[in-house]
Structure 1
């Protein structure tokens, strides 16, 4: 097996693993490490192109992608990780106080929605803010479906919601959430 052949296998495996890591959207750190693995893949593709000698498109595209991957590493392991950690530290400090008062807004999207009896009802997919006072207008939550296919979106007013380190809690049952009006792509309301 030549160096180019070995590099081709490394590139294939690294690119596949990195694609799963970044597509899963499991947080800044996992996404950042996904870009590190992408960098291993793009450098391996550069090695393949140099070893074969007749693939300039593969060479130039992966030199460019290596640069893009380095920006991804900086973005997710540097900048975004710093933001996430700052929010997490502030939330932990407020939780240690007698009256916890902070919840990291960046942690809201993707947070689980829990209802009566600690039943997992869905997931927060968006937070709509009011422009005339910087208050939360409503949360958009997803329930049903698999991987976004067949899911139903609902608007939940902030009254009756409780935010915590483990997600958002409400007093609804799964049936009550499913009975709420479904948000259509073009019909999100101004308020819940």
Structure 2
């Protein structure tokens, strides 16, 4: 039994770390916590068989934390995602304007007005007064391929879709937008939408 735990514990922990770090939705993250739980139980069993009290205590606590993660991501968060997804699917089959979840903007792919892939959204900035999307911050790969440039595009220059959004401007016009600097996006609030007007 100890030999099995010696293999299961590290493997489960490594696999779970990859699953949760990927951040590919509530279901996969929740399953990652299930695998984390298997790993922490295996570590606890290993601690019991080898008499390591600190290993038992640490992984006993982590087992409880991982079970909370399972409840949160496979229970509550998964319900939220499925509810939003069902509303989105239903709206596509109705005469009303199509809906998509606000949380779905982050990670949504973007292409330019000619269908060329630009990058993906990392955040949407909403107006306090109206609650409408004012800007979407889009990440695009730099020429060296090792870093990303973040640019804030006004919502008026975007046509949103269920899975993909399209800019009303070209890739070259998008590249002319001044990139944001690190974690300081304060200048976005002062930018004029004319920065992205179509000629």
Could you state the TM-score of these two structures normalised by the residue count of structure 1?
0.91
Distance 1:96 1:115 in 2: 26
Q: Which residue of 2 aligns with 1:16?
A: 14
Aligned residue among 86, 89, 95 for 1:89: 86
Q: How much has 1:177 moved relative to structure 2?
A: 2.0
Distance 1:191 1:108, change over 3 A: farther
Asked if structure 2 preserves the Cα contact closer than 8 Å seen for 1:45 and 1:62, the reply is yes
Which stretch of the first structure deviates more once superposed, 96-105 or 125-134? 96-105
CA RMSD of aligned residues (A): 1.8
Distance 2:89 2:140 in 1: 29
Q: Which residue of 2 aligns with 1:31?
A: 29
Distance 2:12 2:147 in 1: 31
Distance 1:181 1:89 in 2: 37
Aligned residue among 155, 163, 168 for 2:165: 168
Gaps of 5+ in 1: none
Q: How much has 1:145 moved relative to structure 2?
A: 4.7
The aligned length equals 188
Distance 1:88 1:100 in 2: 15
Alignment of 1:68-83 (within 5 A): 68-83=65-80
Gaps of 5+ in 2: 192-199
Distance 1:145 1:18, change over 3 A: farther
Alignment of 1:115-154 (within 5 A): 115-145=112-142, 150-154=147-151
Aligned to 1:159, what secondary structure does the other structure show?
A: helix
Q: How much has 1:111 moved relative to structure 2?
A: 0.9
| 1:37-70 residue CA offsets vs partner (Å, 9 max, x unmatched) | 10010001001101111x1111111111111111
Q: Which residue of 2 aligns with 1:5?
A: 3
| 1:99-121 residue CA offsets vs partner (Å, 9 max, x unmatched) | 43311112111111122332221
